[in-house]
């Protein structure tokens, strides 16, 4: 029997320091992402915070801008 390994295209990985997967703001970001029907993302716990793996560059860029806006205390508008 031959085992097949599923390979996925990965655009990149972001780790959000100090956040957990139960963080209310992070959950809001996830809900927004699902409502937009964007690319696939995978969430796991990293060394310093929640780690998110993206299949699309545009999704990764959006999350990065959103994180930077949250760090600066600004409201992010997509």
User: What's 21's DSSP letter?
Assistant: T
pTM above 0.85, yes or no: no
The DSSP H or E segment spanning 43 is strand 41-45
pLDDT in tens, 2-46: 888 877 778 888 898 888 889 898 898 888 888 887 667 889 998
> How many whole angstroms separate alpha carbon 69 and alpha carbon 73?
6
Decide: 54 and 63 in contact? Cβ < 8 Å.
yes
């Amino acid at each position: 029997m031959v085992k097949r390994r599923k390979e996925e295209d990965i655009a990149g990985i972001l780790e959000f320091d100090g956040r957990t997967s139960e963080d209310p703001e992070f959950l809001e970001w996830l809900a927004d992402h699902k409502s937009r029907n964007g690319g696939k993302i995978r969430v796991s716990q990293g060394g310093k915070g929640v780690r998110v793996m993206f299949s699309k560059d545009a999704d990764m860029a959006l999350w990065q801008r959103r994180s930077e806006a949250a760090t600066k205390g600004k409201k992010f508008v997509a």
